[in-house]
A = this chain, B = another copy of it.
Amino acid sequence: MPMSSDADSALEGRITISVDAMGGDNGPKAVVAGLAKSAEKNPEIGFILHGPEDQLAPLIAKRKLTDRCVIRDVQGVVAMGDKPAHVMRHGRDTSMWSTIESVRNGEAEVAVSCGNTGALMALSMVRLKKLEGVNRPAIACLWPSRNSHGFNVMLDVGADIRADQDDLLQFALMGVSYARNGLGLEQPRVGLLNVGTEEHKGRAELKVAHDMIGAAAPDGQFDFVGFVEGGDIPSDRVDVIVTDGFTGNVALKTGEGTATLIRDLLKEAFAYSPLSRIAALLSLTSMKRLQKRIDPRRVNGGVFLGLNGTVVKSHGSSDDTGVSAAIKLAFTLAKGRFTERLAARVASGQSLLQDIGTTEQDERLQQ
């Protein structure tokens, strides 16, 4: 699908993100509002937006994004309840498929979708394919933390529902790469999630993975802090938390649910009496500062790692702030990848992600 000359002029010199306009709970309006928010802050971004043109064109025009955004007209939509297997077989005419296709054919650096996670993962796997040497791709999320850079990385948070010791080692290596490229950490600290920090606790595969990750640390240029517990996820003991996709997904949603509960209770507490309402008014700035720090929408992008291309999964319930956060993450990764791809291409004629895959495999084989 070659770009039109219109598209060429709209996206020339920009870092292009491929965006799925459909499939989120709040519809294409919220997605386009997110694009507008990102575009306003960042003159380097361009978009390819996938979905029904008759719906998208007026939204894009209204947000004055016509010169930054190319619409790819696709009529089909993947619904939240659609089974991944069904989408893989029959989803060719959906905005999600088309969104991934733009990464596959090199039109865009990174894809962003708010749609059905299972379907997005399945389509990404089938169309982008696993990196050579990767057994189980993973979804990595950013978690607000006490670290000076403000976030920790956790993976897998839901690409798969299980992981054996080999997968956990790969998650550690992929998480380290992501922390290095996404957060700029030279020597990330990796922890393995378990129910106790004593080495005799926990599942058998975790004990094996513990030793494997520890052995890989010196060559992998990361520090292994050993087992960590749920309470350490937002701590400054660790930068990368490794776990299976079932546990990681439950932890992620539990953390979000807890934060939302506290935010609601805080509102109630401030609405309780006239004095507390005055206090609320005075503390507005403090509260906004806090909310910005812990707002799940601002750490909204889960990233699929281990594929020949990068896909950012935004929450189904994302509003403009959520979509904009996912776009920002996509941009950071696209920009880094682009730069490094250039460097890697000069060095070896291979794409950056293949380089990382090969490097990590080498590190692992060197053990």
Q: Which residues of A contact B (CB under 8 A)?
A: 81, 83, 118, 144-146, 158, 161-162, 193, 195-196, 198, 200-203, 229-235, 243, 245-247, 249-262, 264-266, 269-270, 272-273, 275-276, 278-280, 282-283, 285-287, 289-290, 293-294
CB atoms of B249 and A246 under 8 A apart: no
Distance of A180 Cα from B124 Cα, bound (Å): 47
CB atoms of B254 and A233 under 8 A apart: yes
Majority secondary structure of chain A interface residues (helix, strand, loop or mixed):
helix
CB atoms of A286 and B276 under 8 A apart: yes
What residues on B are CB-neighbors of A273 within 8 Å?
Answer: 285-286
Among all A-B residue pairs, the 3 with the closest Cβ atoms: A230-B253, A279-B283, A279-B282
Distance of A63 Cα from B24 Cα, bound (Å): 59
Chain B nearest CB, measured from A315 CB (Å): 11
Chain B nearest CB, measured from A193 CB (Å): 6
Q: Apart from A195-B246, A195-B249, A255-B257, what are 15 other A-B pairs with CB-CB below 8 Å?
A: A83-B200, A144-B261, A145-B261, A230-B252, A230-B255, A230-B256, A231-B257, A233-B254, A234-B257, A243-B250, A251-B254, A254-B258, A273-B285, A279-B282, A282-B282
CB atoms of A293 and B265 under 8 A apart: yes
Q: List 22 A-B contacts (CB under 8 A).
A: A144-B261, A145-B261, A146-B264, A158-B195, A161-B201, A161-B203, A193-B250, A195-B249, A195-B250, A229-B253, A230-B251, A230-B252, A230-B254, A230-B255, A247-B250, A255-B258, A265-B290, A269-B290, A272-B289, A273-B285, A276-B282, A282-B283
Residue from B193, B195, B196, B250 within 8 A of A230 (CB atoms): B250
CB atoms of B259 and A262 under 8 A apart: yes
- Count identical subunits in the complex: 2
CB atoms of B286 and A269 under 8 A apart: yes
**Which residue in chain B gives the minimum CB-CB distance to A144?**
B261
Chain B nearest CB, measured from A15 CB (Å): 32
CB atoms of B256 and A234 under 8 A apart: no
CB atoms of B257 and A286 under 8 A apart: no
Chain B nearest CB, measured from A160 CB (Å): 10
**With A193-B250, A230-B249, A250-B251 in contact, do A146 and B261 touch (Cβ < 8 Å)?**
yes
